[in-house]
Amino acid sequence: MIGPWKKQPFKVSHIFHQLVRIGVEALPMVALTAFSIGLTLAMQGSHELQRMGAAMYVPNLVSVSLLRELGPMLIAIIVIGRSGSAITAELGTMMVSEEIEALGVMAVNPIRFLIVPRFVAMLIMLPVLVVFGNYVGIVGGWTICHFALDMSTANYVLRAVEAARPEGGRRRRGRRAGNNAFCGLLIAGRFGCQCDSDRVFLFPVIPTALTTIEAPSAKPETEVVIEVRDLVKTFGRRTILNGISFKVLRGETMVIMGGSGCGKSTLLRHLIGSMKPDAGSVRVFGEEIIGMSEREMDVIRCRFGVLFQSGALLQSLTVGENVALPIEEHSRVEDTIVDLVIKMKLELVGLTGFEDLKPAEISGGMKKRVALARALALDPELLFSDEPTSGLDPVMTAVVDKLTQDLTRKMGMTAVVVTHDMTSAFRIGTRMIMLGTGPLQGKIIAEGTPQEIMNHPDPMLQQFIKGEADGPIPLRLSKGDYLKRLLGETHQ
């Protein structure tokens, strides 16, 4: 176990990464736009000013228009339009792919981790890009003045600088320091240095409790780790969970199974605190989590790991960075130790040497294994797994099952597994529950050891275990049901 577990302050490296994305990558677009603006201003202005014999004032026109009006406005539109739309699309995708939910479950504040670095980077880079764009725009105006009006470079620069000065070369009293882009750059630079040196951050640090691997005071076979009582959840008129009650003891592997849409994943989300029930009670480590504040819930979440069905890896991070995320967020250990833990966890799931790849560069099954390594990064007391073996080949499925068995039987970890894989379920499960569908939607129709479940007389349970198409589970795929619907007998 790594310790002590304390909330890691905001990492400045996240801001630098966003500075590159928002600022550096926008330089070509800003340069092209600013150059075109300066070119157009000089071209249109010279045409009118030449008619009045005042072509010498074209540099003044370009300088004043860019520095005081068009430059800041248009570049701000470009940056906000480009970066704002990209950030919105990225966050929307992360919401759909469960990445934001995964951050919350790891007790990582999504606003602090995702929004603040982007916002701060935009504040810093906007004045920098404005200054850069103004210079490029003035160069665009110089192109017309030098080649079309035969104006010398020195004369152009002198007039442009003169026009940019405050009235009469004197600073007005009461003039605000942020009225020009140069002062904005100084403010942004000073703010950036402050973040780097003093580590002053916008959001308060959320303390977490110390986590150890001390042996539990109660006996492993009797200590209740999870207790669910009379849990009810409805969506509109449909009841998903209807009076669910069960207990999970320390060291057990509780397998939750049932047909599609029976509420397995919904139940799991209630156990990890991502969803609130309409009624009932959920106690984890002896504490009632229904009604807990996020700060209190984060203390509980630091003691368990979650493997999401989709993996929920952060696409912007490498495989190694994904595994290291909970360690870096909740500890202050040296980077060498973090690297060592990454290699150890990836070795457990057979992915040594993949640390530098992005999630998009690995297969779906490999993503699931990386997500499992991340869930185990803090050596949790409790592991929640949603379809841990889906997308894995038979050999790797056996490896993951063996890992789950070792964690629970040798190290005392407790596991709650949602799965459709009956071979895996009966291999790792010490107790199992079956959720019903149709008329029994949201109810537990069977609970017991693997042997008791195998011999249970319930026809719905036996149909599910044996994988038969015909039976009481209303899949609307059986021959008889199809004939009834085809002949309209269901409407009689």
**pLDDT, tens digit, 9 for 90 and up, residues 177-192:** 444 433 333 333 333 3
Q: Is the pLDDT of residue 209 over 70?
A: no
Residue 278: both structure tokens together = 């309409």
Report which of residues 384 and 209 the model is more confident about.
384
First to last CA, the chain: 64
In a domain, 417, yes or no: yes
Chain centroid to CA 482: how far? 43
From 8-17, 78-87, 180-189, the region with the lowest mean pLDDT:
180-189
Report which of residues 472 and 175 the model is more confident about.
472
In a domain, 362, yes or no: no
- Helix 27-51 to helix 71-79 angle (10° resolution) is 150
Asked if 89 and 140 sit in the same domain, the reply is yes
Q: What is the bridge-based pairing of β-strands 414-418 and 253-258?
A: parallel
Q: Based on C-alpha coordinates, what's the Rg of the chain?
A: 31
Q: Dihedral of CA 15/20/23/26: which sign?
A: negative
Furthest CA-CA distance within the chain: 102
pLDDT at 182: 35
pLDDT in tens, 248-272: 988 888 999 887 778 888 888 899 8
Percent of residues, the chain, with pLDDT higher than 70 = 81
Q: Is the pLDDT of residue 478 over 60?
A: no
Q: How many domains does the chain have?
A: 2
Going through 320-419 in order, the beta strands assigned E by DSSP cover 382-386, 414-418
pTM above 0.85, yes or no: no
Q: What is the bridge-based pairing of β-strands 382-386 and 304-307?
A: parallel
How many Å apart are CA 358 and CA 25, to the nearest integer? Answer: 20
Asked if 42 and 168 sit in the same domain, the reply is yes
pLDDT at 187: 34
How many Å apart are CA 206 and CA 225, to the nearest integer? Answer: 25
Query: 197, 216, 240: which is the final residue of a domain?
Result: 197
Domain that holds residue 426: 224-303+380-487
pLDDT in tens, 118-165: 888 888 888 888 889 888 999 999 998 888 888 898 989 898 888 887
Q: At 473, is the pLDDT very low, low, confident or very high (cuts 50, 70, 90)? A: low
Question: If residue 241 lies in a helix (H) or strand (E), which one and from where to where?
Answer: strand 238-249
Average pLDDT rounded to a whole number, residues 301-306: 88
Asked if 248 and 136 sit in the same domain, the reply is no
pLDDT in tens, 436-455: 877 788 888 888 898 988 88
In a domain, 205, yes or no: no
For the chain, the average pLDDT equals 78
DSSP 215: P
pLDDT at 482: 57
Nearest C-alpha neighbor of 269 from the set 236, 295, 238, 297: 297
Percent of residues, the chain, with pLDDT higher than 90 = 5
pLDDT at 181: 38
The 10 Å CB-count burial string (b at 16+, else e) for 299-332 is bbbbbbbbbbbbbbbbebbbbbbbbbbbbbbbbe
Asked if 113 and 192 sit in the same domain, the reply is yes
Query: 180, 197, 214: which is the final residue of a domain?
Result: 197
Q: List beta partners, residue 242.
A: 232
Nearest C-alpha neighbor of 372 from the set 397, 346, 398, 390: 346
CATH number of the domain bearing residue 390: 3.40.50.300
How many Å apart are CA 443 and CA 446, to the nearest integer? Answer: 9
Q: Is the pLDDT of residue 247 over 50?
A: yes
Side chain identity at 60, as an amino acid letter?
A: N
Residue 409: both structure tokens together = 């039987």
